[in-house]
Amino acid sequence: MEDRTGSFGPLVRAVAACLAEVAPGARVAAAGQGVLDGMTWTVGLLGAGVAALLVFSLLSDTAGLGVSLAARLLFALILIFAVTPWLNPPPPALDPRDLPRSLTP
User: Can you give the residue range of the structural domain that contains 28?
Assistant: 5-97
pLDDT exceeds cutoff 60 at 104: no
Alpha helices per DSSP H over 1-105:
5-22, 35-59, 63-83
Span 65-94, average pLDDT:
82
Residue 9 has a pLDDT of 72
Q: pLDDT category, 56, cuts 50, 70, 90?
A: very high
Q: Structural domain tally of the chain?
A: 1
Flag whether 40 is in a domain.
yes
Give the range among 23-27, 49-53, 63-67 with minimum mean pLDDT: 23-27
Residues 6+ apart with CB under 8 A from 15: 96
pLDDT exceeds cutoff 90 at 32: no
pLDDT exceeds cutoff 90 at 52: yes
d(CA 77, CA 46): 7
Flag whether 104 is in a domain.
no
Q: pLDDT category, 21, cuts 50, 70, 90?
A: confident
Flag whether 72 is in a domain.
yes
